[in-house]
Structure 1
């Protein structure tokens, strides 16, 4: 998908230009750049990139990490960093990036990361049977999955689908780190959690039980 929309968020203009040139050499055609947080926020709202190459230390701050948290829908994030600060990288990894690259950027690493993100964009959905119809569901639209006997219910924002499958089989099918089994009867989309305590998580104000001794980062 050479027309994949790619946003480069990098405060060093020469590095941003270099990355854009490498992508253009590979025939990617839809590329925009932002050199500060304000422009990046604007382009994330208006350009709506499918892939963001995000500098962690934008303008000398860790604002790239915060920006990544505001990505839209199924957008894939690849962090760019020149630092080997364990805490900083741990903070960045908590946002579930799709990859990260260390500077200086190498062409083969960049293209491999972008192509992997494209593959993820193409496979981030499931197709289920709804009566006689095949329905394509974006994984990002699923809030949580609940076991109900021999079926599971896929709970979307305004709709629910029931399919004949186990929770474990569902996880095996989707292979997504955003979905975790937190209880014998529930799988949640961790990106949809609004709050969490020692016994429950909340998604759209719906309380979902958390198995004892299970802990994870939001």
Structure 2
């Protein structure tokens, strides 16, 4: 696990970062603080791997923090001011996130951290590696035929074999993965999940549905059947989907 600290002089901003950290299996929230000096003390104690750090703070700026902490930890800057990007990268920050921070952008930064931090951590701190760094929640690579999704409790993760998935339904910030004998629900958007699944066999056919092409029984008009389950084909996705189907003839 990568031990994280969220630092921002605005408490609501640390809550957003803390919430994002909680959604990512290989990140562990050690704490939040609105004081850069308190954060520096924690870092110097050696228990922090990664700091999500605001730049504009009253007692100690993010740039000053970087100079003082040296190589004690890795840093991802979070700020509303793009003009500080160059200064940040000159101090070897992992990434530079502009507020308001979208979750998918946060995921990308987290995976950069995973790439840089995990190889130097001890085996006892590590979790199963995630070869495809585009995805922090779902383990996915050409070498793997499975993924992990977050379960209903804080530290619970479920392994799902790609070949077992029939289709996936999205509802706001949740997705349901349907297999032949189970429905699994996880906190994630369908859009985020779509970018992580291997294509093929997975294909989005509707704003609310992704299907496994391997599990199609029949396509009939504006519906595709996965077993006996009809799935609507959305107008936005219809042409691309039908083209893909015809290419398989």
Bigger CA radius of gyration: 2
TM-score, length-scaled by structure 2: 0.44
